[in-house]
Amino acid sequence: MSTMFSTKGRKGLAAVALVAATSLSLTACGSDDESSSSSSSSSSETASAPKPVASIYSLTGEQTQITLDQGFVDALTQLKLTPGTVGTAKLTEGALIFPITGGNVTVFKPGEVSPYVIGQIQHEGSGLSLAAGGTKVELTNLNVDPGVSRVYGDVVVNGKVAASSAYLFQLDGRTLNPLTTGNGTATLEGTQVKISPVAAPLLNQTFKTDAVKPGLLVGIAKITVNTTPGQ
């Protein structure tokens, strides 16, 4: 588990999976009665092969929103970079919004498996663009991996693919707020999104600068997922 994804963050994602699993009638691995009727050999086998507490097998709908940090906005202004959106993404009132198009999350009991939250949250067909001096960079098809606290995506420069599934952003969940639920959704808000050590030099090289630093705070994430089948 990456140190950039705190225990608090992991618990929050675990809660999302558990809420969704309950709504989808996905249960844990056996009841107390079933456990008592199992043989000692079966118990030993179960202990040696941990099973998930809960899983969301298919994420559908809702969105990831990143409220841009003023420091990031100021840095773009100084670099004369114009932010924009790609595909189905939106930029409104200082926030980027990427529709969730798929993914999955599986949660194990803490201590049995490391990392105990695994999966991905996909945002196909949307992204962020940065443009300056006739050069346009698009960061698209973002894929959040909670197990390693990273966001991957494709990089396109002036219409040509420069990198696929590149490590673009790192996540810091130490500022994560408690999980909220209601109206068939679960929401996690407060995780910091930062420029990764891979993306910083790539952007610097493309825009001929050295001002983009690894760890630069992009903004605060708010992830909202459906917990009701068919939505």
- For 27, the token pair is 């249960």
Amino acid at 94: G
Average pLDDT, the chain: 80
CB neighbourhood size of 141 (10 A): 22
CA distance 207 to 52: 45
Closest CA relative to residue 61, chosen from 13, 99, 25: 99
- Residue 129 near residue 86, CB atoms below 8 Å: yes
- Write down the pLDDT at residue 107: 67
- Write down the pLDDT at residue 52: 80
- For 20, the token pair is 């969704």
CA distance 224 to 99: 10
The backbone torsions φ and ψ at residue 191, rounded to the nearest 5 degrees and listed phi first, read -70, 135
User: Taking the model in full, what pTM does it have?
Assistant: 0.75
Looking from the CA of 123 toward its CB, the CA atoms found within 13 Å total 31
Q: Is 20 left (phi over 0), alpha (psi -120 to 50) or beta?
A: alpha
Residue recorded with tokens 């009132």: 93
- Write down the pLDDT at residue 48: 65
CA distance 106 to 150: 17
Closest CA relative to residue 203, chosen from 139, 125, 119, 116: 139
The stretches in the chain having pLDDT less than 70 are 1-48, 53-55, 107, 116, 228-231
Which residues lie below 8 Å from residue 226, measured CB to CB, with a gap of 6+? 20, 59, 60, 61, 62, 184, 185
Beta bridge partners of 231: none
Amino acid at 7: T
For the four alpha carbons of 109, 180, 185 and 86, in that order, the dihedral sign comes to negative
